[in-house]
Each structure stands twice: as structure tokens, then as C-alpha cells.
A and B are shown apart, each in its own frame.
Chain A
């Protein structure tokens, strides 16, 4: 069996958070009512002219600087000609040979290994409209309905170098890029809703080869999970084709998430012949140093810097910090909580553990999480101060999810204060020792595990309220 190396490059489209579209003044806001944010410009009617939205350039510079690109001073726009009903003009305004950003990079970390992934370019362009198909899928539909609300919304396309060698590397790159776009506030990054979209170019080559194999472009990857699954499926499919003596063809395939397969997309447009040419309706955009340096100076703290700060300022382990900074909302939640929390690692443990589990379970993000950072901090402090055992803290947390109350108040309401009174605990210790002579004998015979059983019995008697540290200590002393 030939061993193969996987080669992956990603093309990411990010819708910019502008008020208006890229080349006309229609609202760029998402709406469910089709064809309401449209004008003669984005409907491709004769006699209209495009005028570029300044904020598009501003956002593209900001994103470019955040991924370490060189901003290009001379920018022009080109028409990418194609006939497809999602654009009325029959061309997309894009940038071909003079993109706004070149030669950047994003650092990723997979299984503790650092790797630098090249960003070839970022260019500005306009989004296309949306096709709603009459049937279940695009290929079983007799006709489609087109909604031009999205047509003309500003996009940046971020093209990576083919530097990734596994689905996990692609995922890490995509996660980091998403975090950067969120931090810089240029895109709202909702993959499910399509404001952040990803196409993957995947090929395989025999191990040690220098020439890449035939690449396949996979579309319709609207979650990290879809990205990973689609790449893994596609690599296996390509290996199988080659193993059977077949040849791969350069094509576009779509990811069918329900069936977990990639399917060939045969477009009615026979050839990819875009006949690019400069858009004479627009004029060049010249970006001077002052503009670039002003945007650079205004760049917010980026995920990598924030991670370093969390490690330095709060002593978080790298793993914790990297997960907390991976979404801006989580990082902000953490920063807010540690303002009053006495234990930053405690906050991190909650966020990475029970809070994440709850969010995943509910299918919501931390922005929709009802427990306030201040309340979570209070819960951490109650544990830190020995008022709550970690087990009871979980119980209080469950209550906090149900009602918007401070954990301190809930502890009183539920009568959950930890018992740290020596006399009370001693009483329980003595009782338990008397009731379990066999376990006591086992412990004395050197079976350390027996103490676990006894501690468990005492905790049960106290309904989980006894301070477990004190129980352990006093039990040992008593049995010596």
C-alpha cells in the first residue's frame, strides 16, 4: 500500500459587519423576508454605478494586519464573469491580481506542536444572492427561488497556502482565523448562518513526493465538524480511487452532511472561464501609510496576545488559556469573572468543565448563558473559602441554571453551607467508625482504599455538607 500525504488549503469567505452593502447603499443586515434589501444597483439594473463603501477597505486592512499580511497600496477591482442566477449582473466584483493583502500567516497548535500556516492573500469582493431550491436538494429541484438580499454584501476572501497536512490542522487554522475575525470585530462569524464560510482544497500525494496531486474543492462546510469529516472522507475517497487504478479529476464537490459523503457538483456552466477584466465602473483605491498605521494602532488585543496575558496575569495553564481565548465571548466572560473571583484557575475549571458541558448540551453559546460572570465568581469564592464542597458547588450551579439568583443566597435557601464545625464532624466520625468495624480493620491492615468508603459514609450522613478535607483528616487521626 502506498502511503500518502494529505495536502489542504482553505478558502474562507467572511461577511463584513458593515451597515450597508459593498457597492450600493442597501442594508447589509440579515433578514428573513426575501428581496427587501435591494436596489437597482444590486438588482443589476441598467444605468447604475457601484461606489465602494470605505468601511470595507477599513475592515479588510484590519483583518489583514491581524493575520500578519502586507497591505497593498494599489488596489483595483475586477469583474469575475459567470452566469448563475445568484448575481443579477452576471459578474461578481472581486480583486484578481491586486488584492488588498498578501503574504500573511496564522500560527496553529495541534497536539502541542506549533506550526505556521501561510495566508496567501485576502481580497475584497461582493457576496451573491441566495437560492432556495424547490426540492430537498439542489439536484432534485425543478426550480429555485432567488433572494437578492445578500447580493452585494461585502466579503473578504482569505486564501491560505496549501500548508495543512491533516483535517485537525485545518480545523485549528479555521478556529484561529475565526477567533481573529471575532476579536477584530470585522465579521460576526456565524458558520451555521453562512456569515463565515469555508471551502477546502484537498489533494493527496505519495509520501515524500514534492508535486501535489489533483485537487478537489469541497464546498458547503458550515461547521468545524463538517470541515473535519469532509476532509477525512475525501482523503479516503481519493486513496480508494487511486488504489483501484483510477485517476482523480479536478472538480468541485459538495459536502452532504446527512450522509457523510462528498458529491460531485456538475454545473451547467461547462468551464470555469471567468474572463476577469478590470471593472471600469470603479476607480483604484490607494491606501497610504497613514491609513495603514492608524488601523494598526487601533488593533484590539488578538487571541494570541490574550492567551499570553491570561497565562501571565492569572497563571492559567496554556491549555486552559487557549480554550478560553478561542472565542471572544468566552474570553470576555472570563475577564469579567476574574475581576471578583479569588481563584482564576477555579473560574477556568468551571468554564472548561460544567459550563462548556451545559452550553454544548443546550446547543447555545456563552453569549446566551444566563449565569452572570459575577455569580460564577461568587460560586468560585464560596468553594475557595470552604463554604461549599466541590460536590455541593455543582448542586448550587445546577440551581443557578434554573433561576437567576446569587449562589450565596441559594446556599442559604437550600441549607447547603458546608459543615466545618469540628465537634459536629467528630460526632459523625465516631458514629461511622462504630458502625463499620470491618472497614476500620481493613484500614489498619494497610488497605488505604477503606478510608474512601468511610469518608463516603460520613458525607452521606451529612448530606454532602461536611468539609471533606476535615473529615479525611479527623478520620485518620481517630483510627491511628
Chain B
């Protein structure tokens, strides 16, 4: 067992996911299956090899600093469940 049900609850909370109590055991098992696979990769000797965050030999995909019109104010707020003072209305953020 690499992670416990407690860990799964914590990670779910960080990701704002609800894992029902009934599914907790199954989720924990699935988590561990993934991590066990990662263990196989961990066994490979990588001494002297630089970490490889990117696999493609591409760099410097840069654009010129030119501003363009985005979407309209009305379009932007189409996705807001509720609007308050031209903004996306959200619940209080501090306890």
C-alpha cells in the first residue's frame, strides 16, 4: 500500500473532487495500481541523465507582443452561472 484512503481524500479535496465514502476503497486501490506502475519506471537507473520535461526538440515558440481583441464582455459572461457587477459571482473565499 503506497497511499491510504486518507491520502486519497486529501488529494480529492485539493482537486475539488468528491469521492463518495463507498468508492474510497476502490479509488485507493486504483491509485496504488498507478503508483505501482510508476515503481517499475523508478527502477531504471537514470544516474547522469538530465530530467526531461519536454520530449520534443522544440524551443522558443515565442510570439510578438501585439494585442488583439478577445471575446466581448457579454460573451465572456455567458459561462458565468451568476453575474454581479459585471463580474463572475463566486462564493466567499475566506473562512
Is B2 positioned at the interface, with any CB of A under 8 Å from its CB? no
Q: Report the interface size for chain B: residues with CB under 8 A from the other chain.
A: 38
- How many pairs of residues, A versus B, come closer than 8 Å at their CB atoms? 147
CB neighbours (8 Å) of B62 from chain A are 51-54, 57, 285
Residues of B within 8 A of A28 (CB): 67
Q: Is B93 an interface residue (CB 8 A)?
A: yes
Q: Which of A37-45, A300-308, A370-378 contacts B (4 or more CB under 8 A)?
A: A37-45
Residues in chain A near residue B53, CB distance under 8 A: 76, 278, 280, 284
Chain A residues numbered 327-366 whose CB sits less than 8 Å from any CB in chain B: none
B70 x A37 contact (CB < 8 A):
yes
Residue of A nearest to B55 (CB): A280
**Chain A nearest CB: distance from B86 CB in Å?**
4
Q: Which of A51, A143, A273, A284 contacts B84 (CB 8 A)?
A: A143
B54 x A25 contact (CB < 8 A)? no
User: Of B23-31, B35-43, B73-81, which binds chain A?
Assistant: B73-81
- Whole-angstrom distance between the Cβ of B45 and the nearest chain A Cβ: 22
A131 CB–B CB distance under 8 Å = yes
Q: A51-B63, A143-B89 are in contact. List 5 more A-B contacts (CB 8 A).
A: A36-B76, A54-B63, A131-B90, A145-B87, A280-B54
Chain A contact residues (Cβ within 8 angstroms of B): what range? 35 or more
- Identify 15 residue pairs between A and B in the complex whose beta-carbon atoms are under 8 Å apart, listed by A's number: A19-B67, A25-B70, A26-B67, A29-B67, A35-B87, A36-B72, A37-B70, A38-B76, A45-B79, A146-B90, A273-B14, A280-B54, A283-B56, A283-B58, A285-B62
Residues of A participating in the B interface, judged by any CB pair closer than 8 Å: 18-20, 24-29, 33-40, 42-43, 45, 51-57, 76, 81, 83-85, 131-132, 134, 138-139, 141-148, 265-268, 270-271, 273, 275, 278, 280, 282-286
- Closest B residue by C-beta to A139: B94
Task: Tell which of A25, A29, A52, A144 touches B66, judged by Cβ atoms closer than 8 Å.
Answer: A25
Residues of B within 8 A of A273 (CB): 14
Chain B: interface secondary structure?
A: loop
Main secondary structure of the interface of A (DSSP, over half): loop
Q: Is the CB of B89 within 8 A of A145?
A: yes
Which residues of the partner chain A approach B66 to less than 8 Å between Cβ atoms? Answer: 19-20, 25
**B61 near A131: Cβ-Cβ < 8 Å:** no
Quick check: A54 and B64 within 8 Å, CB to CB? Answer: yes
Q: Are B84 and A134 in contact (CB under 8 A)?
A: yes
Provided the pairs A143-B92, A275-B14, A283-B54 are in contact, do residues A38 and B65 lie with their beta carbons within 8 angstroms? Answer: no
A271 to B89, CA, bound (A): 25
B21 interface contact, C-beta 8 A: no
Decide yes or no: A270 and B13 within 8 Å by CB, A51-B63, A145-B86 being known contacts.
yes
B48 adjacent to chain A (CB < 8 Å): no
Find A267's partner among B64, B85, B94 (CB 8 Å cutoff).
Answer: B94
Q: Could you say which residues of chain B place their CB within 8 Å of the CB of A142?
A: 91-92
Most A Cβ at <10 Å: residue of B54, B88, B89: B88
The CA of A199 and the CA of B80, in the complex, are separated in Å by 31
- B47 CB within 8 Å of chain A: no
